[in-house]
Structures are given as structure tokens and as C-alpha cells.
Amino acid sequence: MRAVIPYKKENAKSRLSPVLTLGEREKFVELMLKDVVDTLSKAGVDEIDILTTSIYSVPDDIEANVIVSELGLNEVLNTYLKKTNEPVLIIMADMPLVTPQHICEITTSDKDITIVPGKGGGTNILYIKKPARFSVKYYGSSYKTHCDIAKEMSQSVFVYDSFLASTDIDEPQDIVELLVHGHGMSKDYVEQKFGIDISNGRIKLSHIV
Amino acid sequence: MRAVIPYKKENAKSRLSPVLTLGEREKFVELMLKDVVDTLSKAGVDEIDILTTSIYSVPDDIEANVIVSELGLNEVLNTYLKKTNEPVLIIMADMPLVTPQHICEITTSDKDITIVPGKGGGTNILYIKKPARFSVKYYGSSYKTHCDIAKEMSQSVFVYDSFLASTDIDEPQDIVELLVHGHGMSKDYVEQKFGIDISNGRIKLSHIV
């Protein structure tokens, strides 16, 4: 099997702009990518491809193949899947809460397709045993779309139910989850910048001054 | 074992007021309570206590004991735990995404305490084998607090990682999860009122007109 991580650094994570500058966001997405690669390595995945739009956006010290393409997310992934003759794990780069145990559990399912839903109807991880018999369609209600595609293709589906793996880091409130439940370099990074404010009975992010 | 559900109907779920009227919110919390009771029953839990501030707030047709108290959440639960000599599952009433399988997995853990984290540092479910040797402290960062209390009391902890069980319904965006992943009466209720808007690439709740 191999894993593929779509990755974009330039002006990434604009929804975090209320709490992180452009430079901080670019540093943060790089650290999240490193955490995801580290998690995959610890789970025994040794073939890791990073799909990106610019070779310069991927740090040099990362142990992964870099594939550069200017195609959109769905087009580049579907081209990749068509060319691949072994099981593929598609994992997003903004999921530093995923652990090696999650990856092991996902990749040992006996179903054809394993889907890890993300918040808001999204898809955070897809494990596809026969990539030639599947195609992806991210954005919008992709969780339901991927379930439908699997059904159309007569592929059996396992839905992997995990709070940590459902948490991609898109908005300031997601950083709270990283502070509370996280590990790795991206957690260390946000711990330097943020604290937790519980003055109002609910946890909110607060800047460390 | 027995299960206990803290429940408040009057002016409940004020954070849903942008999308549901007071009357609709009161109906909705009642349906979510019924779904949680139904899930517990299907999981084989036959002793269910509902802790509430008014006897009139609990629907007559619900198969559970009703305990009325004007104490605050932590005080009433800690009084309850002190008096109970069997394992207790504390589950919030706003968790219609929980399934019987979750309940079975949580209550068969071999650890002293099982904690199901909720979004934003909260605690959604606690399973406590020896209630006299534990106390709860909800609000704020209760997940970490409950882990700390277990440690102080030398109780072993299992963290149950579930997206569906981490999703309590507090805010409009949470209703999206109920529409996408839900089941039961509360899902049917919101399906009558809301659709899903994916025009902007991300799923948002939209009123059915």
C-alpha cells in the first residue's frame, strides 16, 4: 500500500487568519504535514507521496516523494488513482490528531473502501483497496458523495468513527482540540502561541501575550 | 449498571436560537432525550434515571425513572454517584448520534473510568465502575479535569474516540452532523426543517421554506 497527501502551503488556511498571520499559517501547515508523515511512518507506511502545486512548498527534510501538478484536487487525485495498482490511503495534510493506531485500524479493514468522515460532511481519510475501481469527489458533502460512489462501483464500505481523525484543523476552534488532545510538532507550535480561556464556561482560544 | 441523563427542557439550547424558536428547541431537546433513552434501551441498559429540575419537563411516555432536584449539574450528579453502588453511565441528553454499539463498547471496557470527549474540551459520556471513588466536574475543560480526577483517585482511564459520540448538538453547525450521520426522531425532526447548502463549497444549514 501507499499513502498520498494533497498539500498546499501558499496562503493556506485562510480561515485561521483571525488568529495566525500568513507566515505563521505557512509554518503551521508545514508542521502539520510533518506530523502526518511521521504518523504514517510510525504506522509502517513507507511509500508516501505528497501531491502539491509547487516543489518549493514541501520542506527538504521530509521523507516522502513529491509529485508536482497544477491540476485541481479531484483531477490530480483521480489521475493518481488510475495509475496506481496497490491500495491507497488518501489523507489530508491538516490532521495532526491522527495517530499510528488509527492508520493501522483503517488499513486493516476487510472492506473495499474505508471512509473517515470529517466535520461538516467532509471526508478526512479514504482507504481504497482497488484504486482503479474508485474515483474521488472532494468539496461539499463529500462524505455522502464518496459513500454513493462506492455503492455505484459495488465497493463495500467501512465508516471509521473517530473524533480525533474527524478533526481537521480549519478554524480557530479546531486549534482548541489540538491543544487538548494533540501531540507532535504542530501541537508544540500552537502551545507556544495560545492558551485556553474557560472564563465563560466554554473553552475558547486565547493568545499568549 | 445504570445510566443517568441530566436533562433540562426549559429555555434549553439557547445557542440554537438563530435557527429554532423556543418552542421548537423545547420539542427538539425532548426528541433528542427520547433518542438517547431508546439507544440505551437497545444497548440493554434497563435502569435509566433522568435528572431534571422539574417533573413536568419529562415526557410521560418515556421509559425511565425521573429524579427531580434543584441542585446544579455537578452537585446533583455527585450526590447521585455517592448513593449508587453499581457502575454508572453518565450521558448527556443532547447526543442523538450515539448508537447502541457505542454504549456496548463503552460499558465493556476493562478500565475503571471510560471518558468520551466532546468537542471543545468537554465530556460527553462518563462510564464509572465505582461511583463512590469518583466525582464529576462539568463545564470548562471538563475532559482534562475528569482525567485529572481519575488520576488523583488512582482510577485507570480509557478514552473512547468517536466522532459520533463526540458530537453533542449545541450550535446550528452541529445539526449538519445530525442530518448527515444521524438516525432517530431528532434527525427526522430536523430533516423537516433544514436542508444542506453546499453552494459555497462547504456544508451549511439552510432553512426549508
Q: B139 vs A165: CB contact, 8 Å cut-off? A: no
Tell whether the model's pLDDT for residue A138 goes beyond 70: yes
Section B179-197 average pLDDT: 94
Q: How many CB atoms lie within 10 A of CB B167?
A: 25
Tell whether the model's pLDDT for residue B205 goes beyond 90: no
Residue in B123, B159, B161 to test binding to A, most A beta-carbons within 10 Å? B161
All structural domains of chain A: 2-168 (3.90.550.10)
3-state DSSP assignment of residue A17: coil
Between these two residues, A203 and A82, which has the higher pLDDT value?
A82
Cell 513529491 sits on residue: A66
Tell whether the model's pLDDT for residue A209 goes beyond 80: no
Per-residue pLDDT reduced to its tens digit, A17-64: 999 999 999 999 999 999 999 999 999 999 999 999 988 899 999 999
pLDDT of residue B155: 97
Q: Identify the CA nearest to B86 among candidates B152, B4, B5, B146.
A: B4
- Measured between CB atoms, does B82 come within 8 Å of chain A? no
Q: How many CB atoms lie within 10 A of CB B138?
A: 18
Per-residue pLDDT reduced to its tens digit, A109-127: 999 999 999 999 999 999 9
| Surface of A (181-200) touching B: CB under 8 A | 181, 196, 198
- Measured between CB atoms, does A72 come within 8 Å of chain B? no
Q: A202 vs B140: CB contact, 8 Å cut-off? A: yes
Query: What span, in angstroms and rounded, lies between the C-alpha atoms of A175 and A190?
Result: 7
- Do B90 and B128 form a contact (C-beta atoms < 8 A)? yes
Least confident of A92-96, A128-132, A139-143, B200-204: B200-204
Query: What span, in angstroms and rounded, lies between the C-alpha atoms of A39 and A93?
Result: 11
Q: B177 vs A119: CB contact, 8 Å cut-off? A: yes
- Measured between CB atoms, does B101 come within 8 Å of chain A? no
> What grid cell was written down for B151?
488520576
Evaluated on CA atoms A53, A57, A60, A62, the torsion sign reads negative
Residue in A137, A163, A191 to test binding to B, most B beta-carbons within 10 Å? A163
Tell whether the model's pLDDT for residue A205 goes beyond 90: no
pLDDT of residue B209: 67
Q: Using CB atoms, which residue from B141, B198, B201 is nearest to A203?
A: B141
Closest-CA distance, A162 to chain B, in angstroms, reads 4
| Surface of B (11-40) touching A: CB under 8 A | none
pLDDT of residue A207: 82
pLDDT of residue B198: 77
Q: Using CB atoms, which residue from A117, A139, A162 is nearest to B181?
A: A117
pLDDT of residue B11: 83
**Complex ipTM value:** 0.94
Tell whether the model's pLDDT for residue B71 goes beyond 90: yes
* B204-207 vs B194-197, strand pairing mode: antiparallel
Tell whether the model's pLDDT for residue A193 goes beyond 70: yes
Residue B172 C-alpha from the chain's centroid: 17
Backbone angles phi, psi at B89, to 5 degrees: -105, 120
Q: A120 vs B144: CB contact, 8 Å cut-off? A: no
Helix/strand/coil percent split, chain A, to 5? 40, 20, 40
Q: A140 vs B176: CB contact, 8 Å cut-off? A: no
DSSP state of B111: S
Continuous segment of H or E residues that includes residue A18: none
Per-residue pLDDT reduced to its tens digit, B83-111: 999 999 999 999 999 999 999 999 999 99
What is the percentage of chain B residues whose pLDDT exceeds 70? 98
Q: B141 vs A201: CB contact, 8 Å cut-off? A: no
Per-residue pLDDT reduced to its tens digit, A142-175: 999 999 999 999 999 999 999 999 999 999 999 9
- Measured between CB atoms, does B162 come within 8 Å of chain A? yes
